[in-house]
């Protein structure tokens, strides 16, 4: 089919099963409660959400080409469930919640005013690009964040942060600033970030406890970034793998195997987390295939 416009419906109204939408799927429900499910072998070119709605994707992220949330000024909730590729937020007062799954690229357009983004427990955003002020809450994970605007406030500490020139970001109770525009990373103090780049070390030595990307040449290439952060009163270490998934690695803290206590954050298992206990200081990650290790100093 070509362009498809949804103007209303209830919580279980629209199912696209084994369907092809060659042009834009427009959702504009004045009651702000329609639910649209993309399932089976369905492919949707792109989606424009002009009202509140629930959009569920039961297949791969590439099943939907791109999504745009267009805020209308009243802030109706747009809720996503499943895995998605690119989502752009724009307009006035857009209100977005990721209830389950992963967003590969979440972009806050520079025209956006007062956007609100909530990441539920167990969800993740691989890359966030904020070109306008935004408020981010919840207990999900943000692997990378590029902040190009002042006024971004987040209760979630991204694993890796890049700030534009003369740009600041508030993470938890701490303001992260970096006038040079280089990479900053999340820290272990209350889920906040710190400016400057720092990384986990390889097996030859420790790193500082700010986590983040791993520029040290001795660090195995499979380790992309890591961070220690708080979610409320609970302290976590999160790890992002460049290659492989949680099943490909073993984890030990202070000499004790804790592999079974690490849990996947993303469906694919490329982002994992562990709830730290008091006094735990050193994490060793071992690649099962070649026994190479990465040693991360947590304190």
Residues 18 and 116 in one domain: yes
Domain's final residue, options 138, 158, 192: 138
The pLDDT mean for the chain works out to 80
What is the predicted pLDDT for the residue at 230? 61
Is 147 within the bounds of a domain?
Answer: no
| 3-state helix, strand and coil shares in percent for the chain, rounded to the nearest 5 | 5, 55, 45
Whether pLDDT at 202 is above 50: no
**Residue 181, SS3 per DSSP:** coil
Structure tokens, 23 = 């042009």
The rounded distance, in Å, linking the Cα atoms of 276 and 183 is 25
Is 115 within the bounds of a domain?
Answer: yes
Is 275 within the bounds of a domain?
Answer: yes
Is 171 within the bounds of a domain?
Answer: no
What is the predicted pLDDT for the residue at 141? 93
Whether pLDDT at 199 is above 50: no
Mean pLDDT to the nearest integer, 156-169: 85
Domain's final residue, options 138, 170, 200: 138
What is the predicted pLDDT for the residue at 265? 74
Whether pLDDT at 195 is above 50: no
Query: Which of 190 and 143 is assigned the larger pLDDT?
Result: 143
Query: Which of 201 and 219 is assigned the larger pLDDT?
Result: 219
Model confidence at 231, in pLDDT bands (50, 70, 90)? Answer: low
Residues 24 and 114 in one domain: yes
Q: Whole-angstrom distance between the N-terminal and C-terminal Cα of the chain?
A: 56
What is the predicted pLDDT for the residue at 187? 39
The rounded distance, in Å, linking the Cα atoms of 280 and 271 is 20
Best mean pLDDT range from 2-16, 62-76, 174-188, 245-259: 245-259
Residues 121 and 10 in one domain: yes
Domain's final residue, options 138, 158, 178: 138
Q: For the chain, what is the domain count?
A: 2
Q: Over pLDDT 90: what percentage of the chain?
A: 36
Question: DSSP states of 78-120 as a string?
Answer: EEEEE-EEEEEEEEES-EEEEEESEEEEEEE-TT-BSEEEEE-
Residues 132 and 221 in one domain: no
Is 17 within the bounds of a domain?
Answer: yes
Query: By C-alpha distance, which of 84, 251, 193, 184 is closest to 96?
Result: 84
Domain that holds residue 246: 212-297
Whether pLDDT at 150 is above 60: yes
Residues 230/126/123/251 CA torsion (nearest 10 deg): -60
Whether pLDDT at 207 is above 50: no
């Amino acid at each position: 089919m070509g362009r498809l416009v949804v103007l209303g419906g209830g919580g279980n109204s629209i199912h696209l099963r084994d369907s092809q939408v060659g042009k834009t799927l427009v959702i504009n429900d004045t009651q702000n409660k329609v639910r649209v499910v993309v399932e089976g072998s369905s492919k949707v070119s792109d989606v424009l959400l002009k009202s509140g709605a629930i959009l569920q994707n039961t297949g791969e992220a590439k099943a939907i080409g791109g999504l745009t949330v267009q805020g209308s000024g009243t802030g109706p909730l747009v809720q996503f469930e499943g895995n998605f590729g690119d989502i752009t937020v724009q307009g006035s007062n857009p209100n977005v919640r990721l209830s389950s799954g992963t967003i590969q690229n979440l972009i806050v357009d520079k025209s956006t005013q007062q956007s609100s983004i909530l990441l539920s427990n167990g969800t993740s955003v691989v890359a966030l690009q904020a070109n306008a002020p935004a408020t981010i809450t919840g207990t999900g994970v943000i692997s990378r964040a590029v902040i190009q605007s002042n006024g971004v406030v987040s209760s979630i500490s991204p694993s890796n942060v890049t700030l534009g020139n003369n740009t600041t970001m508030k993470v938890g109770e701490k303001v992260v600033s970096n006038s040079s525009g280089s990479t900053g990373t999340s820290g272990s103090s209350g889920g906040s970030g710190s400016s400057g780049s720092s990384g986990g070390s390889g097996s030859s030595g420790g790193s500082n406890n700010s986590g983040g990307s791993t520029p040290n040449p001795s660090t195995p290439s499979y380790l992309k970034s890591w961070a220690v952060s708080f979610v409320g009163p609970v302290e976590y270490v999160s790890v992002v793998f460049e290659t492989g998934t949680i099943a490909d690695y073993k984890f030990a803290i202070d000499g004790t195997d804790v592999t079974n206590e690490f849990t996947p954050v993303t469906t694919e298992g490329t982002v994992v987390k562990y709830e730290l206990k008091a006094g735990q200081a050193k994490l060793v990650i071992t690649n099962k295939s070649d026994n190479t290790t990465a040693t991360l100093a947590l304190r």
